[in-house]
């Protein structure tokens, strides 16, 4: 498993403890309390982004917007998770 994939797994495992998880189009999505659906996506080898869809139906039709980019070289996994949580909480 690549470092990038390991990073996604770490973030998703942490998110599973907080938010309801759903499989949408064979991808792991998380449903926030306000019904916004989020997904951690790999954009390039060492860059992750949170995709935000207004709701589960929009996620199913690939109508999601990218949030901030997170470069693996800029953060420890814990720092990256904490920064992502800040971005997610701004959506709630």
Supply the pLDDT for residue 92: 80
User: What average pLDDT does the chain have?
Assistant: 96
Check if the beta carbon of residue 31 is closer than 8 Å to that of residue 13.
no
Nearest C-alpha neighbor of 88 from the set 38, 35, 17 = 38
Question: pTM (2 decimals)?
Answer: 0.92
The average pLDDT across 63-91 equals 96
Domain regions of the chain by residue span: 3-91
Sheet containing 27-31: which strands, arranged edge to edge? 20-24, 27-31, 37-44, 47-53, 64-71
Supply the pLDDT for residue 5: 93
pLDDT tens-place string over residues 34-70: 999 999 999 888 999 999 999 999 999 999 999 999 9
């Amino acid at each position: 498993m690549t470092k990038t994939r390991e990073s996604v797994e770490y973030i998703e495992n942490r998110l599973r403890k907080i938010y309801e998880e759903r499989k949408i189009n064979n991808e792991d999505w998380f449903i926030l309390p306000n019904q916004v659906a989020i997904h951690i996506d790999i954009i390039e080898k060492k860059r992750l982004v949170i995709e935000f869809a207004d709701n589960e139906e929009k996620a199913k039709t690939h109508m999601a917007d990218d949030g901030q980019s997170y470069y693996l070289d800029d953060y420890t996994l814990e720092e990256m998770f904490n920064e992502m949580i800040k971005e997610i909480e701004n959506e709630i």
